[in-house]
Structure 1
Amino acid sequence: MTGLHTQRGISTLGFVFLILVGIAVLFTAFRVVPPYVENRYIVAALKSLADNNEDLFSRTPAQIRSQLSKFYTVNNVRTEGRKNIDIDKRSSRVVITIAYEERIDFIYNIDLVFSFNNQLDSALPERCCQPLDSHSAGN
């Protein structure tokens, strides 16, 4: 039979500490994950436009916004990014930029700020949703 001096394990205080850390991690995850999920839907909407690249230049900005709006409605996107659509028609290509910030109350007066910048260039559809560098943006 073993005595109490040879037994090892977590104490009650250690267990309570682990529970508190677990709760803090879950609370943070519930606040941080939704903005990234909604941004993934915004990226998916831009990728769907990139798949139909051949007729993108022939569409008007209102038609492009309408198609994006339908995608957002179906996928329940409610973030500010769905409103910040900048469509720039250039000589032979279309550049669609969806750049926005989302601010979420975290704890008391601490806010989390998420910045997203998604761009689609019809001349470079394979680089969809990555910010354009300064060299390709001027061409």
Structure 2
Amino acid sequence: MALQQHSQLRSLAAQRGMSYWGWLFVIAVFGFGLTVVSKMGPAYIDAHFVEEGLLTLSKQGGVRDMSNTEIKRELDRFFTINNVRGEPVQSVKIIRGADSTLVSINYELRQPLFHNVDVVMKFDKQLNTAKPELCCEPLVDLEQFRKRDDY
């Protein structure tokens, strides 16, 4: 009988649930995750709309025949509708080749996370009219063009 009471007490003690420190840890992890998502989420949403803008441009056709101003105007219209501002809009570069046009949106964002900790996010989306089906992954390394600074 005493053994049975002891095992019941031990069973009840094991079912008490999480301690104060356990709950504090869960809340801290949840709060950190929420902070990270709220700080970095908008940048990834903008990157999604940048990719959608390039896809829309590629489906439009005739990008090769459009002037640089027309291409930028079309992208700017799409970005305005989808509330994309700042660095992605300013980073549109157009490079014309012999048989294709490359529309590149390559930018880097630095977002303060907390106190003196920043997160750096790099985004590189490209539309090559020679291979529009491969939109929006970077196919060309633009570092060679940056050194010449002629784009």
- TM-score, normalisation: structure 1: 0.89
- Where 1:33 maps in the other structure, the secondary structure is helix
Alignment-derived partner of residue 89 in structure 2: 82
Alignment-derived partner of residue 114 in structure 1: 121
Identical aligned residues as a percent: 29
Distance 1:63 1:74 in 2: 17
Alignment-derived partner of residue 64 in structure 1: 71
Deviation string for 1:41-63 (max 9, x for gaps)? Answer: 0000000111022x111110000
1:48 maps to amino acid = T
Distance 2:117 2:24 in 1: 25
8, 11, 22: which is aligned to 1:6? 11
1:10 maps to amino acid = M
CA RMSD of aligned residues (A): 1.6
Distance 2:117 2:23 in 1: 28
Distance 1:23 1:111 in 2: 17
15, 25, 40: which is aligned to 1:32? 40
- Structure 2: runs of 5 or more not aligned: 142-151
Matches within 5 A, 1:35-46: 35-46=43-54
Distance 1:122 1:13 in 2: 57
Alignment: residue pair count: 133
- Where 2:42 maps in the other structure, the secondary structure is helix
| Alpha carbons 1:61, 1:87 under 8 Å: kept | yes
- TM-score, normalisation: structure 2: 0.82
Distance 1:113 1:104 in 2: 6
1:96 maps to amino acid = V
Distance 2:80 2:140 in 1: 31
| Alpha carbons 1:38, 1:79 under 8 Å: kept | no
